Chain A
């Protein structure tokens, strides 16, 4: 479309200006909540009630952040969201690693060691990506009870692994299917075994899809609320549940600056991942939609 754009008639120039104006307005729409969240989180409470949403803080303070981290009330307890932030990390890290490892092995077996019915097994597992989780909540609660891990971090890790492997398997399967099979066949003729081929041939080229899978799982599990609220107790709640409790705790004065600081704390890890590895984040989102 070069010739359309390179013609710089006055009309074309006006069109360019309008174009940029619309794009910038859209950017403001997306940025506004984040800006308000950051500004509010460093304002003293009296400035919030006196000023408006977008008025800049006159005496910026980090007190709301320290309060949100260590003192704010989430329900009965007033220990801030810090401990729950740690809970989230303790749940997310093992769940992401285990589900990615299983997904990689599944994807490898499904593409390089096809057997009769393997495609059917894949379709069977893929269905797990689509179910509304409400349909598994009650049986899951009972099963976790039988296993003796209800309301524990271990229970939440199990849940996230179980419902994460459908996605990770999909990612790795679609990635490995595009890798030429010749190399694998040659290695098989040489007598190399299942794990050896995986380790020496597939794994070294898997870095991009590992990043995609880790980022996807990290964002999904960190942002999860449904499983967190259904299967946790006071001391095992993830940070999203604690944030919701903090915002809905109605004792004393509503401290909006603390609410916003807590929301920022809960949002920062995934925002950071997005800023650092946005490309892979987008690839995961689209890979989830583009089926093999």
Chain B
């Protein structure tokens, strides 16, 4: 089929402003319509639906008997929810900070004309291709006190070496940080490296001519240029942290007890296994609130920045 052979037919169709022509004008809208409808129903509709469920006393099955904000009050009085929320603060905070620090550090080092840079980059980034379930299973094995890292170091002669965070209620949440940093820090490195490569060399050359030292150049010239990268990295990492569900399930199972629960596992446990649909919905709405709390300032500054720029 060539472009020329059917041109007359097309031209004829266009020449009369008939139903075919009108159809052409509406086609883009028709093509978009299903996706918009899907979005309205499955995203916005479902959000509203979950909100409505969170106002009811639904337990095993959805009921539509309204109890106002009672479920939210129950949630606020629920100790497990507070453990989960506090854990999210600890996990999210450390995860974001360590990923940023490690990612920036590795990116700066890799940017020093390193031989085998490609191979190193590939190694740093591959965990991002794995499922959090795989990551959880592997780290569960590494952190297993009896057979993992603790046992290995002890077999080297350090008999009193202890690394039992996985089974220690006070420390279990930090094992999530280790595994998540392992998985995502290479990605942050890639973001920073792309940012570094995007900086105009002439600015750095000028600073060098002025006699600025290398650390000083990084602090005063490079870091300010990377602000947008930091911003989007924080955004993505915070988002990963709030959604973290599979990693907890595979690595700690939320345990010991519920010591390493996160809101995502709390919601799943209550909505799907503990027959507390109302309470689960309320916790899901609060998770949404958390995402919006980081998303809205981000979008705001993005839009404002674009208008100025």
Is there an interface contact between B129 and A271, defined as CB atoms closer than 8 Å? yes
| Stretch touching chain A among B89-97, B159-167, B238-246 | B238-246
CB closest chain-A residue, reference B253: A248
Is there an interface contact between A289 and B130, defined as CB atoms closer than 8 Å? no
B28, chain A: closest CB distance, angstroms = 4
Q: Does A192 contact B (CB under 8 A)?
A: yes
Report the Cα distance A273→B219, complex, angstroms: 37
Give the residues from 135 to 168 in chain A that come closer than 8 angstroms, CB to CB, to chain B. Answer: 135-140, 142-143, 162-163, 165-166
Contact with B along A170-213 (1 / 0, CB 8 A): 00000000000000000000111111100010000000000000
By a CB distance below 8 angstroms, the chain B residues around A33 are 127, 135, 138-139, 142, 182
By a CB distance below 8 angstroms, the chain B residues around A23 are 106, 109-110, 114, 120
Report the Cα distance A57→B60, complex, angstroms: 50
CB closest chain-A residue, reference B117: A23
Q: With A128-B43, A140-B42 as given contacts, are A271 and B131 in contact (CB-CB < 8 Å)? A: no
A211, chain B: closest CB distance, angstroms = 15
Is there an interface contact between B114 and A20, defined as CB atoms closer than 8 Å? yes
Chain B residue total in the interface (Cβ 8 A): 102
By a CB distance below 8 angstroms, the chain B residues around A30 are 123-124, 126-127, 182, 186
By a CB distance below 8 angstroms, the chain B residues around A109 are 28-29, 31-32
Contact with A along B29-47 (1 / 0, CB 8 A): 1011011101110111111
By a CB distance below 8 angstroms, the chain A residues around B133 are 223, 225, 240, 243-244, 266
By a CB distance below 8 angstroms, the chain B residues around A58 are none
Report the Cα distance A124→B38, complex, angstroms: 11
Report the Cα distance A133→B267, complex, angstroms: 11
CB closest chain-B residue, reference A187: B3
Is there an interface contact between A106 and B31, defined as CB atoms closer than 8 Å? yes
B29, chain A: closest CB distance, angstroms = 7
| Stretch touching chain B among A34-42, A72-80, A89-97 | A34-42
Chain A residue total in the interface (Cβ 8 A): 96
B304, chain A: closest CB distance, angstroms = 14
Is there an interface contact between B130 and A267, defined as CB atoms closer than 8 Å? yes
Is there an interface contact between A137 and B35, defined as CB atoms closer than 8 Å? no
Most buried by B among A37, A48, A49, A267: A267
Is there an interface contact between A26 and B106, defined as CB atoms closer than 8 Å? yes
Q: Does A11 contact B (CB under 8 A)?
A: no
By a CB distance below 8 angstroms, the chain B residues around A190 are 7, 10-11
Q: Does A86 contact B (CB under 8 A)?
A: no
Give the residues from 206 to 264 in chain A that come closer than 8 angstroms, CB to CB, to chain B. Answer: 219, 222-226, 229-230, 240, 243-244, 247-248, 256, 259-260, 263
By a CB distance below 8 angstroms, the chain A residues around B27 are 113, 193-195
Name B182's contact: one of A3, A29, A266, A271 (CB within 8 Å).
A29
Q: Does B285 contact A (CB under 8 A)?
A: yes
Report the Cα distance A131→B263, complex, angstroms: 14
Q: Does A62 contact B (CB under 8 A)?
A: no
A132, chain B: closest CB distance, angstroms = 5
Contact with B along A15-39 (1 / 0, CB 8 A): 0000110110011011111101100
Q: Does A69 contact B (CB under 8 A)?
A: no
Report the Cα distance A224→B295, complex, angstroms: 23
Most buried by A among B15, B40, B42, B250: B42
Name B129's contact: one of A29, A256, A274 (CB within 8 Å).
A274
Report the Cα distance A240→B284, complex, angstroms: 23
Q: Does A286 contact B (CB under 8 A)?
A: yes
Is there an interface contact between A260 and B141, defined as CB atoms closer than 8 Å? yes
Is there an interface contact between B28 and A132, defined as CB atoms closer than 8 Å? no
Q: Does B128 contact A (CB under 8 A)?
A: yes
Is there an interface contact between B284 and A278, defined as CB atoms closer than 8 Å? no
A51, chain B: closest CB distance, angstroms = 9
Q: Does B168 contact A (CB under 8 A)?
A: no
Is there an interface contact between A130 and B39, defined as CB atoms closer than 8 Å? no
Report the Cα distance A53→B153, complex, angstroms: 10
Report the Cα distance A115→B36, complex, angstroms: 14
Name A53's contact: one of B139, B142, B194 (CB within 8 Å).
B142
Q: With A110-B32, A247-B250 as given contacts, are A286 and B109 in contact (CB-CB < 8 Å)? A: no
Report the Cα distance A20→B35, complex, angstroms: 50
B290, chain A: closest CB distance, angstroms = 8
CB closest chain-B residue, reference A272: B129
Please report B residues at the A interface, Cβ cutoff 8 Å: 3, 7, 10-11, 13-15, 24, 27-29, 31-32, 34-36, 38-40, 42-47, 49-50, 53, 62, 106, 109-110, 112-114, 120, 122-135, 137-142, 147-149, 151-152, 155, 182, 186-187, 190-191, 194, 201, 204, 208, 214, 232-233, 235-236, 239, 242-243, 245-246, 249-250, 253, 263-264, 267-268, 271-272, 277, 280-281, 283-285, 287-288, 290-291, 295, 302
Extra inter-chain contacts (18) besides given A27-B120, A140-B42, A278-B125, CB under 8 Å:
A23-B106, A23-B110, A30-B126, A53-B147, A109-B28, A109-B31, A110-B32, A113-B28, A131-B291, A165-B38, A223-B131, A226-B264, A230-B272, A263-B134, A275-B122, A275-B126, A285-B128, A289-B235
